[in-house]
Structure formats: C-alpha cells, structure tokens
Amino acid sequence: MDIGVFLNIAAFVSAILAILLILLQQRGASLGAGFGGSGELNTERRGLEKSLFNATIVIVTAFVLSILAILIV
C-alpha cells in the first residue's frame, strides 16, 4: 500500500470523525447572546463534554497534519 493512499484514507476518516464530534458538542450560547443579550452563565466543561472537546481537538489536529502530509508527499 502506497503512503499516499494511507494518507488519503487517514484524512477522510479524520474528517468524518471531526464532523461527528463537532455535531455532538452542546451549543455554548443561546440565540439571545448573538443579539447582545446578557445573563450568560459561563461554566467549565466537565465529564463527557470535556472528553468530546479534547477528542475534537485531537482529531482536527490529525486531519490538518494528514492534509499537510498529503501536500508534501
């Protein structure tokens, strides 16, 4: 198997996983925040939400690195 094929598969899989992880995350602000509404409660991520956030960062980083590797190779 050629390295280019492996990088293409890695980019495709990481892109799909990144989309899924982003869609699974909760919304941070309501519609009122977009129009200058006040009273937003800022909380710290905990538990599953924090794990999803960290996994999203890892997967998106893997996606970017695989795309850069494809461009170099």
pLDDT tens column, 26-50: 776 555 555 665 556 667 888 889 9
- Residues 1-22 pLDDT 10s: 799 999 999 999 999 999 999 9
Q: So what's the pLDDT on residue 29?
A: 56
Residue identified by tokens 């999203």 is: 56
Helix (H) or strand (E) holding 6: helix 3-24
Nearest to 4 by CA among 12, 32, 21: 12
Q: Which residue has the tokens 């939400």?
A: 49
Per-residue pLDDT at 8: 97
* Contact of 64 with 14, CB cutoff 8 Å: no
